[in-house]
Amino acid sequence: MEIVICKTKEEASRLAADMINAAVKKNPKTVLGLATGSTPVLMYNEMAKAVKAKKVSYKQVKSWNLDEYEGLAPTHNQSYRYFMNENLFKKIDIQLKNTHVLNGLAKDLDKECAAYEAQIKKAGGIDIQVLGIGSDGHIAFNEPGTSLTSRTSVVYLTPSTIKDNARLFFNGKLDEVPTRALSMGVGTICEAKKIVLLAFGENKQDAVKGMVEGGVTQFCTASALQMHPDAWVFCDEAAAKKLKLRKYYAWRSATKLGLKA
């Protein structure tokens, strides 16, 4: 796991966007796995800037999102489909028909999840998976206690995730946050060829510590990324603060990226 530690979340977002833009330039048919939440928004803005400046094109890119709430229509302003349209898809030249988000309204949710896995497989698998991390160490909606080999399925949110999501979205209204969601599994995520995880702010310190320097455990599902051969974590100094070897990680990753450490 490579840990890139930047002074600010703006700088970390820029570097992460550079990595994705470079991959898309190299392979215009890149298959992306995408995340929602507050964390990737700055990176999505950087990707949009590069498209606007004609430095890269997402015309042939296909994407699959990590998760979606159960019961929310794609037009609901808190649905993840809506979020993606507003925060990324409308701002870049990706074709909407090439973007995929789980359908939280599907009649048969298990069938929806199995079909999603099949679609990803048919596309040749995910080349780069974008991730945030929950304050409890979750990736996608894989909460503590989820098998590290799990596949896309219906999942149950913890009270702490419901609280975090109500704080940032849903106008703070706890009882409006759905308690179930459809989510790619940890096993599904770990099959991506490359991982780009973003983590910002003090609220993520414990999760980042657990992911990077804790044991591999289903109590911090992000720790499964320790087994991934090409996982990159872009964080700010606040999120990295509890890492014992943070100076070493910063030096190593900056050297690998050709930056001044």
Name the residues that contact ligand F6R, by CB under 6 A.
Answer: 35-39, 66-67, 132-134, 138-141, 168
Nearer CB in complex with ligand F6R: 60/144: 144
Residues 6 or more apart whose Cβ sits within 8 Å of residue 257: 4, 15
Minimum CB separation from ligand F6R for residue 251, in Å? Answer: 27
Q: Please say if 175 is a catalytic residue.
A: no
Give the residue closest to ligand F6R by C-beta.
Answer: 132
The residue among 36 and 79 lying less far from ligand F6R, judged by its C-beta, is: 36
Nearest-approach distance from CB 260 to ligand F6R, in angstroms? 28
In the residue annotation, 110 being an active-site residue is answered as no
Q: Which of 100, 127, 138, 236 is catalytic?
A: 138
Nearer to ligand F6R, 168 or 259 (CB): 168
- Minimal distance in Å, beta carbon 133 to ligand F6R? 6
Residue located via tokens 């991959």? 23
Which among 67, 68, 112, 236 is annotated as catalytic? 67
Question: Considering 143, 164, 228, 236, which one is annotated as catalytic?
Answer: 143
Residue 42 Cβ vs ligand F6R, minimum distance, rounded to whole Å: 11
Which is closer to ligand F6R, CB of 5 or CB of 182? 182
- Closest by Cα among 153, 144, 26, 51 to 102: 153
* Least distance to ligand F6R, CB of residue 168, Å: 5
From 112, 117, 136, 164, active-site residue: 136
Residue 138: active-site member:
yes
Closest CB to ligand F6R among residues 4, 140: 140
What residues act catalytically? 67, 136, 138, 143
